[in-house]
Amino acid sequence: MKKQLLAVAVAALACVAANADTLDKVKASGAITMGVRDSSGALSYTLGDGKYAGFHYEICQRIIGNVEKAVGKKLDVKFQSVTSQNRIPLVQNGTVDIECGSTTNNVARQKDVAFVNTTYVEEVRIAVKANSGITSIAQLKDRNVATTTGTTSVQLLRKHERANGIDFKEVFGKDHADSFLLLDSGRADAFVMDGSILAGNIANAKNPADFKIVGEVLSVEPIAIMIRKDDAAFKKLADDTVRDLIKSGDMAKLWDKWFLQPIPPKNVKVGLALSESTKAAWANPNDKPAEDYAKK
């Protein structure tokens, strides 16, 4: 009976923690937990030894800097590696306070979490071996296509008009690095994913020239930093931080730093130019879901 009561109490505390105002929560605890990805291209990736880097990682650091000003104290910043499968539950249950990875903002996810104003608009593409001869969706017929468990990319591929009647086999990687390994090792003929993630994994491959990004753009999706729902104060602070980074020109500088200059640990360039879609999102900061981008 005691064990049952303890379990109920722990669950109740977890619920309270998850629903508490984030600013109050981190002020009381003196710590904030950032959800990070191990291999989400130049958006968020590991350097090893518990260190992380990337475009979204650095934006989150700026947000946390403003959180510290708001609560009037220096915070212990903790890192929690998340995957496509567990990132939303970990934000919902209070384990992660701010998720700084490569998450698409869509209507379904907005039922469970909230998104900060869009920082990056992604184009979903296909990566293949450079010598594969594959240049379009139609050539994926009867081939193995890799994607990462918990992502939307293969769903988008199947829905694409050019994929009508194209039958392919899905093979799943547990994270983006694992999915890229499926392509690299020949267990998959293509890897369908966000262009930035494909470019980042190619840039860090042993022989980047062995791969290329090809085919039609499968979708245009807003990628954003994720936080808990119904936390107006924290969302306003995060949205204001993004808006100020854009207005000051610092957002463009961060883009140049992470996508157009050599980045650690191998000092290679991702080489991803700022798209018109991302420029438009910066010109009018908003948290619109992917469905709004799909409207003609």
Pick from 222, 172, 170: nearest CA to 196: 222
The tens digit of pLDDT for each residue in 12-68 reads 444 444 456 999 999 999 999 999 999 988 999 999 999 999 999 999 999 999 999
Task: Give residue 273's pLDDT.
Answer: 84
Q: What integer pLDDT is reported at residue 152 of this predicted model? A: 77
Which architecture does CATH list for 2-119+224-294?
3-Layer(aba) Sandwich (3.40)
Q: Does pLDDT of 3 surpass 70?
A: no
Which of these, 148, 139, 143, 138, lies nearest to 101 by C-alpha position?
148
pLDDT the model gives residue 28: 97
pLDDT at 170: 92
Show me where the domains of the chain are located: 2-119+224-294, 123-220
Q: Do 2-119+224-294 and 123-220 share a fold?
A: yes
The residue that leads in pLDDT, 5 or 96, is 96
Choices 3.40.50.300, 3.10.350.10, 3.30.70.1150, 3.40.190.10: CATH for 123-220: 3.40.190.10
Q: Which two tokens stand for residue 145?
A: 């296509």
* pLDDT-based confidence at residue 155 (cuts at 50, 70, 90): confident
Euclidean distance between CA atoms 103 and 151, whole angstroms = 9
Q: How far apart are CA 76 and CA 87, in angstroms?
A: 21
Q: Which residues contact 45 (CB under 8 A, 6 or more apart)?
A: 37, 38, 39, 52, 53, 54, 200
Beta strands in 71-139 (DSSP E): 76-81, 98-99, 113-115, 120-129
Residue 12 CA to residue 21 CA, distance in Å, equals 16
pLDDT of residue 231: 97
Asked if residue 123 lies in contact with residue 294, where contact means CB atoms within 8 angstroms, the answer is no
**How far apart are alpha carbons 197 and 28 in whole angstroms?**
36
Q: Looking at the predicted structure, is the pLDDT value of residue 215 above 90? A: no
Residues of the chain with pLDDT > 70, as a percent, come to 92
Q: How sure is the predictor about 168, in pLDDT bands with cuts at 50, 70 and 90? A: very high
pLDDT in tens, 249-290: 999 999 999 999 999 998 988 888 888 889 999 999 999 999
Compute the CA torsion angle 6, 7, 11, 12 (nearest 10 deg).
-30
Residue 122 contacts residue 236 (beta carbons within 8 Å): no
Helices marked H in the chain = 2-19, 22-29, 55-71, 87-92, 107-110, 153-159, 176-184, 195-203, 232-248, 250-255, 276-283, 290-294
Q: Do 104 and 152 touch, CB atoms closer than 8 A?
A: yes
Which pLDDT band holds residue 295 (cuts at 50, 70, 90)?
A: low
Look-up of token digits 């924290």: 234
pLDDT value at residue 20: 62
Q: Which residue has the higher pLDDT, 276 or 240?
A: 240
pLDDT for the residue 38:
95
Contact at 8 Å (CB) between 192 and 147?
Answer: yes
3-12, 80-89, 154-163, 246-255, range with the lowest pLDDT: 3-12
pLDDT at 1 over 80: no
- Specify the 3-state DSSP secondary structure of 63: helix
